[in-house]
Amino acid sequence: MSLAVDLVMVLLILTAAVWTILARDRRDAVIAFIVLGLLLSLVWMRLLAVDVALTEAAVGGGATGLVLLRACARLLPVEADGALPGLRLQVAVGVLCAVVGACLAAVILSPPEPAPSLAPAVAAHMEDVGLKNPVTVVLLAYRALDTLLEKVVLVLGLIGVWALAPDLFWGGRPASLRAAVPSGTLTFLARVLPPIGVLIGIYLVWNGADHPGGTFQGGTVLAAMWLLVMMADLGDPPETRALRLRRLVAVGPALFIAVGLAGFGMADGFLSYPPGYAKPIIVAVEVALALSIAVILGLMVAGPAAKEPDQ
Amino acid sequence: MTPATLYGLCAAALVAIGLFGLILHPSPLRKVISFNLVGSGTFLFFGVAARRGAVAGFLGDPVPQAMVITGIVVAFAATALAVALLLRMLESGAPTVDGPPEQPDDLSP
Amino acid sequence: MAASGRSTTRAAVPGTVVRFLLFLLLWGILIGPAPANLVAGLPAAALACWVSLWLLPPFGQTLSLSALLAVLVRLPGQSLIAGLDVARRALSPAMPLRPGIVAYRTDIPPGLERDAFRALMSLQPGTLPVGEDADGALLIHCLDVDQPVTHQLALEEARFRRGTGKGSHG
Amino acid sequence: MSLLLDLFTIVAVSGGLFFFLAGTVGLLRFPDTLTRLHALTKADNLGLGLIVLGLLPQCPDIVSALKLVAIWALVQLGGATASQLIAEFARRGGGER
């Protein structure tokens, strides 16, 4: 019975995936991709990975979908952009991809026994840190270096996006996010929802120490509220040269690196926490990271500067 | 068959479908979307590995789960960069199948 | 929307406190009543309150809480009627639909108040606001234009305006 | 007592599922975007409301019950605004392509 539910989920996912590839209109393809993201977050619930489900819904479907939809709006409508090349090539590539898929399926069907797991190592680590959410323990203690490098990737990605601005516009504001036609409904939502969203974002960060949630999920909710306000034209995207903005971008990674370096003097080495103080330090790092993630995600969706900076 | 195995097969199919679009679609934006499909399939693989690694009282191995969270965010950053690159490429007049972009209204000072 | 500046500031202080307490209550609902969580809850509620005051400055008119509550209490019942209505039309083989757009002239001034009223109307049975025409009349899409939609909406508007204090205020 | 509460849950959640089904039937049968929006928002709102109502007696404490109600209220807000945004877009001809 429960496998029937999973089977239906898989069929829905594969339909959405095929539609993403075959849709003639690129906006249909993006919408199918967003649907796929939401379905996948349900799958993560079925796999009992609630932290991942939250991230997939917020970042995988939500933020990525928004970036792609904005791109669609900026491109001229082209009738048939889903046109695939000739049938013979399609068959050849199809066979190739089927072979790749079959190889991966074979790996799934002959798994190693017993299943490898690092869970016991994490469990040993959890007692030192004093947090109850194992995923947060991995992200901020057991494998903190990965998380730190990923933050650096985010900052580099933002610098990359900014660097695509024409020289004239460097440091100016990104293109406005406001909807083509002003809508009272959107304004209403953008006036009522953000305070609630801010509260829920902070809740996700604060709760992430011991329960599902954390910096990514909370930061994305905060970013979404900021984007909603900008879309309803209640606030403009900030100038990318603003010092305060750049400090917000850097505060999370900078604090993380500072804590990591402090580990040399106060604990066993880079990114290790002094015993007894691990939890407050981790919570402080998480708050700073959530702030930086919110600002970085919002700025990435907004895109490179598209106006000359004010004099 | 366990649900995890079923989703593993689904992950394999997602990778194959995404690869198909990535190779065949002439439009850069569609390639970006297809690439994200491949990414989603790969993440699901990690999810299956995590579910199988459920020992020591955990519902799943938290290490692959944390890696997927990191991966989803990095995939988003890559997508945003690729889209910005694509729009800039079209603005500067590079010929692609997507045609020239509409000039944003607020481009002029 | 805001009346004179002085009455705004006078009304703002208790309004701010009410908002802060509401956000604190929501925090409590989210995370549970453990006092340790207030360490994050107090600043979170303060931040939410600040955002709320920025996006939604206190109006210079007094809201009648009891009348607003009366509007809100009716929501579940109306949701029931609306759902039954749609289910009946969707499942009946003949599918009795007479869809159309009705223009409804409202006295509610444009702005937040009207947007809130529109949101409320979209939860009413059989009606869905789809925009406004050039004269500022609301365009309402109806599942069945034979129903006395305008009459119904006028009743709802009167109830709503008692809540926002315009009934006595003028 | 607990049997009665369980029975209430079963009845209310089944009712909720029925309205989700009716909304989906409407989504498939109704002739255009605007009427389909009616089917989705009205029937699904009621469906969710009944499911939340049915789950209330199963909550271990008052806080989780209030959390469910808060979720219902947020979905009402989201539904009320999202349906209008789609409707405005559809009326301007965005739906025809």
- Give per-residue pLDDT as tens, A245-304: 999 999 999 999 998 888 888 877 787 888 777 888 888 888 999 999 999 999 999 988
Whether residue B28 lies inside any domain: the answer is yes
CB neighbours (10 Å) of residue D78? Answer: 12
pLDDT at B34 over 50: yes
Separation of alpha carbons A21 and A15, rounded Å: 10
Nearest Cα of chain C lies from the Cα of D3 at a distance, in angstroms, of 26
Helical ranges in chain D per DSSP H: 2-29, 33-38, 44-55, 62-91
pLDDT at C168 over 60: no
Subunits touching C (CB < 8 Å, at least 3 pairs)?
Answer: A, D
Nearest Cα of chain A lies from the Cα of B85 at a distance, in angstroms, of 7
pLDDT at C61: 62
Separation of alpha carbons A203 and C39, rounded Å: 12
Cα-Cα end-to-end distance for chain B: 62
Q: Does A185 sit within 8 Å of D81, measured CB to CB?
A: yes
Chain D residues in contact with C122 by the CB 8 A cut-off are 41, 79-81, 83-84
pLDDT at A306: 85
The confidence band for A229, taking pLDDT boundaries of 50, 70 and 90, is very high
Whether residue B82 lies inside any domain: the answer is yes
pLDDT at B100 over 80: no
Whether residue B105 lies inside any domain: the answer is no
Whether residue C60 lies inside any domain: the answer is no
Chain B residues in contact with A7 by the CB 8 A cut-off are 6
CATH of the domain at B71: 1.10.287.3510
Per-residue pLDDT tens digits for A183-216: 788 888 898 899 999 999 999 998 888 888 888 8
Q: Considering CB atoms only, which of C48, C110, C132 is closest to A199?
A: C48
Chain C residues in contact with D39 by the CB 8 A cut-off are 86, 90
Separation of alpha carbons B17 and A29, rounded Å: 13
Per-residue pLDDT tens digits for B40-98: 999 999 988 888 877 766 777 888 889 999 999 999 999 999 999 988 887 776 555 55
Q: Which domain holds residue B61?
A: 3-96
Chain D interface includes A69 (CB < 8 A)? no
pLDDT at C60: 62
Question: Which residues sit opposite C139 in a β-bridge?
Answer: C103, C131
Provide the sign of the torsion angle of the four alpha carbons A280, A285, A286, A287, taken in this order. positive
Helix axes A26-46, B3-24, angle to 10 degrees: 160
How is domain A1-83 classified at the architecture level of CATH? Answer: Up-down Bundle (1.20)
Cα-Cα end-to-end distance for chain D: 56
Whether residue B61 lies inside any domain: the answer is yes
Indicate if C51 and C115 belong to the same structural domain.
no
pLDDT at A81: 59
pLDDT at A202: 93
Per-residue pLDDT tens digits for C2-25: 334 444 445 556 778 888 999 999
Separation of alpha carbons A289 and A139, rounded Å: 12
Q: Where are the domains of chain A?
A: 1-83, 118-311
- Which of the two residues, B95 and C93, has the higher pLDDT score? C93
Closest of A309, A266, A256 to residue A287, by C-alpha: A256
Q: Please give the mean pLDDT across all residues of chain C.
A: 80
User: What's the structural domain count of chain B?
Assistant: 1
Closest of A185, A229, A220, A206 to residue A286, by C-alpha: A206
The confidence band for B109, taking pLDDT boundaries of 50, 70 and 90, is very low
Looking at chain D, the whole-number percentage of residues with pLDDT higher than 90 is: 40
CB A30 within 8 A of CB A65: yes
Nearest Cα of chain C lies from the Cα of D77 at a distance, in angstroms, of 8
Provide the sign of the torsion angle of the four alpha carbons A124, A129, A131, A133, taken in this order. negative
Separation of alpha carbons A79 and A195, rounded Å: 41
pLDDT at D90 over 90: no
Provide the sign of the torsion angle of the four alpha carbons B33, D41, D58, A199, taken in this order. positive
- Which of the two residues, A56 and A144, has the higher pLDDT score? A56
The confidence band for B33, taking pLDDT boundaries of 50, 70 and 90, is very high
ipTM of the complex: 0.87
Segment D55-74 mean pLDDT: 90
Per-residue pLDDT tens digits for C42-70: 999 999 999 998 888 876 666 677 777 88
Per-residue pLDDT tens digits for C102-143: 888 888 888 788 888 888 888 888 888 888 887 778 888 888
Looking at chain C, the whole-number percentage of residues with pLDDT higher than 90 is: 8
Per-residue pLDDT tens digits for D5-24: 999 999 999 999 999 999 99
Residues of D with CB under 8 A from a CB of C: 18-19, 22-23, 25-26, 29-32, 34-35, 37-39, 41-43, 45-47, 49, 63, 66-67, 70, 76-77, 79-81, 83-84, 87-88, 90-92
Indicate if C143 and C75 belong to the same structural domain.
yes
Indicate if C106 and C124 belong to the same structural domain.
yes
Question: How many Cβ contacts (< 8 angstroms) between chains A and B?
Answer: 297
pLDDT at A77: 58
Chain A interface includes D81 (CB < 8 A)? yes
Chain D interface includes C32 (CB < 8 A)? yes
Give Cβ neighbours of residue A273 (< 8 Å, ≥ 6 apart): A129, A141, A259, A263, A267, A281, A282
Whether residue B55 lies inside any domain: the answer is yes
B–D touching, 3+ CB–CB pairs within 8 Å? no
**Looking at chain D, which residue has its C-alpha nearest residue A28?**
D97
Nearest Cα of chain D lies from the Cα of C160 at a distance, in angstroms, of 16
Whether residue C147 lies inside any domain: the answer is yes
Chain A interface includes C114 (CB < 8 A)? yes
Indicate if C82 and C128 belong to the same structural domain.
yes
Q: Which domain holds residue C110?
A: 65-169
pLDDT at C108: 82
Q: Does A194 sit within 8 Å of C51, measured CB to CB?
A: yes
Separation of alpha carbons C57 and A196, rounded Å: 16
Strand order in the sheet with C100-104: C100-104, C138-142, C127-132
